[in-house]
């Protein structure tokens, strides 16, 4: 069916970035873009961008560039954005509430069809326009809405249990913000996002460069 059996995962992640840039350009009324300009806006190498786009088949005009709207729709199709994705979010603490209220998801075709929390204090509250439900209703909502994506923003101690319940209910993709490695049955994709790891990588790179802070301001360049 599709002449592209597989697209590298790193490329998929970048396609999502290109898509965001293209959406911005389309709103600016821009008609075409060159690979160089698009790569610059996305923060990647122009050759790499062209190679990424080559996975979608030829979609540019030589000598001119890429048609903004066309390319945007093409990428959106490949990423599976023509249809909205129903997501459930478990854990409405600080991070979960931020995710529920984050507009970047809704504008990209992801809709939270259920917010769940184990704490009775949270249940019933409204977050991001949705009412927080008790954990008991999780299975029912996942089944009814056919949600395929589950987001875990709970404390680490209960994340595995939540993961089990989500997979048992039929969720096939999980985005985990809890700082633990989750075990899921085969056929279920788990992606881990650990915010503090990012900070620690930064701290390491900073330390590796050595304490050269004084060198950066040789002649009182503070002003």
Partner DNA sequence: AACCGCTTGTGAACGCAGGAACAAAGTCGC
Partner DNA sequence: GCGACTTTGTTCCTGCGTTCACAAGCGGTT
Q: Are 49 and 42 in contact (CB under 8 A)?
A: yes
Q: Could you tell me which of 143, 207, 149 has the C-alpha nearest to residue 173?
A: 149
Q: Which of 8, 119, 146, 161 binds its own copies (CB under 8 A)?
A: 146
Q: Which of 58, 62, 94, 218 binds its own copies (CB under 8 A)?
A: 94
Tell me how many degrees the CA angle 177-128-19 measures, rounded to the nearest 5.
65
Q: Is 89 in the site for its own copies (CB under 8 A)?
A: no
114 has binding-site annotation: no
Q: Which is nearer to its own copies, 63 or 99 (CB)?
A: 99
| Residue number with CB closer to its own copies (46 or 109) | 109
By the rule CB under 7 A, 197 interacts with DNA: no
Window 187-216: contact mask with its own copies (x via CB under 8 A) = x-x-xxxxxxxxxxxxxxxxxxx---x--x
Answer for which of 20, 26, 41, 48 binds DNA (CB under 7 A) is 48
| Nearer Cβ to DNA (33/115) | 33
**Residue 53: which of DNA, its own copies, none does it interact with, CB under 5 to 8 A by kind?**
DNA
121 contributes a contact to its own copies by CB under 8 A = no
Q: Is 80 annotated as a binding residue?
A: no
> Does residue 28 bind its own copies (CB under 8 A)?
no
Question: Are 181 and 156 within 8 A, CB to CB?
Answer: no
Interface residues with DNA (CB under 7 A) are: 8-11, 33-36, 44-48, 50-51, 53-54, 58-66
Interface residues with its own copies (CB under 8 A) are: 6-7, 9, 12-13, 16-17, 19-20, 41-43, 78-81, 85, 87, 93-95, 97-99, 101-102, 104-105, 108-110, 143, 146, 148-149, 151, 170, 172-175, 179, 181-182, 187, 189, 191-209, 213, 216-217, 222
């Amino acid at each position: 069916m599709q002449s592209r059996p597989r697209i590298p995962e790193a490329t998929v992640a970048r396609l999502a970035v290109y898509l965001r840039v293209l959406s911005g350009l389309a709103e600016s009324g821009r008609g075409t873009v060159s690979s160089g300009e698009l790569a610059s806006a996305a923060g990647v190498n122009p050759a790499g961008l062209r190679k990424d786009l080559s996975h979608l088949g030829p979609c540019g005009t030589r000598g001119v560039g890429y048609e903004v709207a066309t390319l945007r729709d093409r990428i959106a199709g490949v990423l599976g954005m023509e249809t909205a994705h129903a997501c459930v979010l478990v854990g409405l603490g600080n991070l979960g509430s931020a995710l529920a209220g984050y507009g970047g998801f809704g504008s990209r075709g992801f809709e939270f069809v259920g917010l769940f929390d184990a704490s009775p204090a949270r249940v019933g509250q409204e977050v991001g326009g949705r009412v927080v439900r008790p954990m008991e209703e999780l299975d029912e909502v996942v089944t009814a809405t056919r949600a395929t994506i589950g987001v875990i923003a709970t404390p680490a101690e209960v994340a595995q249990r939540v993961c089990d319940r989500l997979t048992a209910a039929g969720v096939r993709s999980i985005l985990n913000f809890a700082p633990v490695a989750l075990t899921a049955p085969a056929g279920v994709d788990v992606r881990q996002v650990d915010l503090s790891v990012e900070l620690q990588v930064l701290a390491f790179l900073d330390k590796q460069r050595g304490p050269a802070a004084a060198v950066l301001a040789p002649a009182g360049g503070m002003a």
